Structure 1
Amino acid sequence: MSEFTTRWQLRLLAAQHDLVDACGGIARVMEKTGYSKGQVGRWNGGIDRDLMSLGVVLTLEEDCGRPFVTAVMAEFHGRTLTDASDNGKRVAHLEEQVAGLVEQAGRLVVETVKARADGIVTPNEATILRGISSKISGLTAAIDDALAGVQAAGGLKVVGGE
């Protein structure tokens, strides 16, 4: 069994910070847990940091759907978190998001070339390009969110590969 060292405590504190961010920041965590701004701030960082109670950890991890603190606690005991029933779906969804991003990026290139062909980008063409760019931003945010979940869970595994 590992010794609970400063390194492990710092990892838990960093996981708490990530958890507060994933749940929408200090104000949202205050609403969700009923704790004061000062207390949530001590969980989130600063000089005098506190560890969250298990009840708060469980509440917030359920709220954001990511096991930030639980994953560190499991790792402390030499374990990892897995969700075998969901892994294939998560991998497929991530691949689908990345494919959508590539598709929209290609579309943006094509539409940009078309718009610049006559040397003038009209307001209508700019509207089309902004729409595509907005879709790309949404896909990028969704991919970042999915990958943050993968990091928190300690990775994704494809069992029986496809």
Structure 2
Amino acid sequence: MSHLSNAWFHRLKAAQRDLIKMCGGIARAAELTSTSTSHVGRWNQAKDTDLMPINAIIILEADCGQPIVTSAMAELNGFRVEDPERAVKTTTSIMSSLSDAVQEAGALFATGAAAAADGKFSPAELTSLERAASTLTAKVGDLRNTLAAAQVDDTLRTVVG
């Protein structure tokens, strides 16, 4: 760990404080980890040299549902903790939005073909086409918003093969 300076210590202590806070404070963290409040208080103090043991980190992170200290440790070593479910949800959302847009495009084309079958467009047919075009525009907007959100989601991966 020669590439790490004393900054690693302060980063971990900050993550410990955040984790304790997210779990409801010192008393609740002590209760969850079966540790004395004074010991948890030392984990919570910036200048105290006590660091949380792994079992306490696991218990507290499970309680709040966030890998606060684990993420800090990964980052200190040049890695990142990813939520595999988030990428699946994003991919599912893209596919759903794309499917909706394609379905509405099909509805617009079907409405247009039916309206044009006799070579003229009645006012009712024009209204139907306008409604179908409006619905398609909304679905394409939803798709574009989903794609924009996915572009900032750095956990999304493209599956090939």
Asked if structure 2 preserves the Cα contact closer than 8 Å seen for 1:88 and 1:159, the reply is no
Letter in 1 for 2:45: G
Q: Specify the structure having the higher radius of gyration (Cα).
A: 2
Can you list the C-alpha shifts for 1:97-133, whole angstroms capped at 9, x where unaligned? xxxxxxxxxxxxxxxxxxxxxxxxxxxxxxxxxxxxx
- Which residue is equivalent to 2:60? 60
| TM-fit CA distance, 1:49 | 4.1
Higher relative CO (Cα under 8 Å, sequence separation at least 6) belongs to 1
| TM-fit CA distance, 1:29 | 0.6
Gaps of 5+ in 1: 94-154
Asked if structure 1 preserves the Cα contact closer than 8 Å seen for 2:26 and 2:40, the reply is yes
| Rounded Cα–Cα distance in structure 2 between residues aligned with 1:157 and 1:72 | 17
Structure 1 position 50 matched with structure 2 position 24? no
CA separation of 1:44/1:156 partners in 2, compared to 1, >3 Å: closer, same or farther? farther
- Which residue is equivalent to 1:37? 37
Instruction: Using the aligned pairs only, state the percent identity.
Output: 42
- Three-state SS of the structure 1 residue aligned to 2:17 is helix
Asked if structure 1 preserves the Cα contact closer than 8 Å seen for 2:11 and 2:72, the reply is yes
Asked if structure 1 preserves the Cα contact closer than 8 Å seen for 2:13 and 2:46, the reply is no
CA separation of 1:85/1:28 partners in 2, compared to 1, >3 Å: closer, same or farther? same
| Rounded Cα–Cα distance in structure 1 between residues aligned with 2:83 and 2:60 | 19
Aligned-pair RMSD on alpha carbons?
Answer: 2.6
CA separation of 1:34/1:76 partners in 2, compared to 1, >3 Å: closer, same or farther? same
- Which residue is equivalent to 1:9? 9
Gaps of 5+ in 2: 94-152
TM-score normalised by L of structure 1 = 0.53
CA separation of 1:86/1:50 partners in 2, compared to 1, >3 Å: closer, same or farther? same
| Rounded Cα–Cα distance in structure 1 between residues aligned with 2:37 and 2:61 | 19
Moved over 3 A (4+): 87-93, 155-160
- Which residue is equivalent to 1:76? 76
TM-score normalised by L of structure 2 = 0.53
Asked if structure 2 preserves the Cα contact closer than 8 Å seen for 1:2 and 1:77, the reply is no
Letter in 2 for 1:29: A
